């Protein structure tokens, strides 16, 4: 599995957009970028995934650079409930695969 | 739709006892994954199962741990002769077979405490 690099922690202001970076310089051509988050003591929650194109859903937007070596997860209007550990993971698509979680990025939304 | 159901939520076992953790995947999901999260650490993959088959058990400790996903009923993660180091949160995730939705759905976990 390709490795990802995320900052260990970051703070975001409530109501503002939160931009979470991720580097995955060794990603291979058929690997997707997945984002999950884990709110304290709960099970991880799927957020979004993408291959090449930018993606948006009701939770977030995913911006992938043209060379696919990095990506940014955007939470458009951060709320206190978005405080969580965010995991950026790369891996094969199509399901049926184990996901390798790293240490993630502890995001704290500040009032 | 009910999500992924795990029970019990909390389990306390004395050293040497057996722990049985249950996971009922989402309706229509035939793939189950087990992960372990030690205190203050990330999630570590343990095993991937489909109905009646173990697909990938590369993350399972060689001894004392086993998993099954029978044709009927929940997936079971079994830990025999538990030790203090087995204390952790165990999460189960399920996935739909060959779906365009690649997101896994996780349960709320079972917190195992070995005393």
Q: What is the mean pLDDT of residues A63-78?
A: 96
B78: pLDDT confidence band, cut at 50, 70 and 90?
Answer: very high
Query: Which residues sit opposite B75 in a β-bridge?
Result: B23
SS3 B85: helix
Task: Return the number of other C-beta atoms located less than 10 Å from residue A71's C-beta.
Answer: 23
Contact A25, A82 (CB under 8 A): no
The distance of A3 to chain B (nearest Cα, Å) reads 14
Sequence-distant (≥ 6) Cβ neighbours of residue A106 within 8 angstroms: A8, A9, A10, A85
Over residues B44-62, the mean pLDDT reads: 93
Output the pLDDT for position A84. Answer: 97
Read off the tokens for A71.
């990506």
CA-nearest of B52, B53, B48, B20 to B34 is B48
Rounded percentage of chain A residues whose pLDDT exceeds 70: 95
Indicate whether A4 pLDDT > 70: yes
Residue of A nearest to B39 (CA): A41
When pLDDT is cut at 50, 70 and 90, the band that residue B73 belongs to is very high
> What sign has the CA pseudo-torsion B27, B76, B4, B1?
positive
Q: How far apart are CA B7 and CA A100, in angstroms?
A: 24
What is the average pLDDT score of chain B? 91
Mean pLDDT for B91-99 is 80
Contact A32 B102 (CB under 8 A): yes
- The answer to whether the Cβ–Cβ distance between B35 and A93 falls below 8 Å is no
Q: Cβ separation of B102 and A42 shorter than 8 Å?
A: no
Residue A23: count of CB within 10 angstroms of its CB: 16
Q: Do the beta carbons of residue B21 and residue A86 sit within 8 Å?
A: no
């Amino acid at each position: 599995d390709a490795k990802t690099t995320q900052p260990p922690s970051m703070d975001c202001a409530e109501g503002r957009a939160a931009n979470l970076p991720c580097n995955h310089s060794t990603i291979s051509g058929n690997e997707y970028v997945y984002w999950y988050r884990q709110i304290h003591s709960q099970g991880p929650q799927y957020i979004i995934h993408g291959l090449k194109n930018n993606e948006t859903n009701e939770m977030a937007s995913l911006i992938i650079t043209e060379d696919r070596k990095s990506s940014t997860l955007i939470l458009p209007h951060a709320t206190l409930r978005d405080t969580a550990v965010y995991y950026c993971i790369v891996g094969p698509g199509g399901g049926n695969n184990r996901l390798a979680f790293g240490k993630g990025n502890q995001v704290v939304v500040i009032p | 739709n009910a999500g992924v159901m795990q029970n019990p939520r909390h389990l306390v076992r004395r050293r040497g006892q057996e722990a049985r953790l249950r996971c009922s995947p989402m309706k229509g999901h035939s793939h189950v994954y087990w992960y372990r999260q030690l205190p203050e650490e990330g999630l570590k993959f343990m095993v991937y199962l489909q109905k009646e088959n173990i697909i990938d058990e590369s993350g399972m400790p060689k001894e004392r741990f086993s998993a099954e996903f029978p044709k009927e009923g929940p997936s079971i993660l079994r830990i025999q002769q538990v030790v203090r180091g087995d204390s952790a949160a165990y999460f189960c995730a399920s996935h739909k077979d060959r779906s365009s939705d690649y997101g896994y759905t996780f349960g709320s976990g079972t917190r195992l405490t070995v005393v």
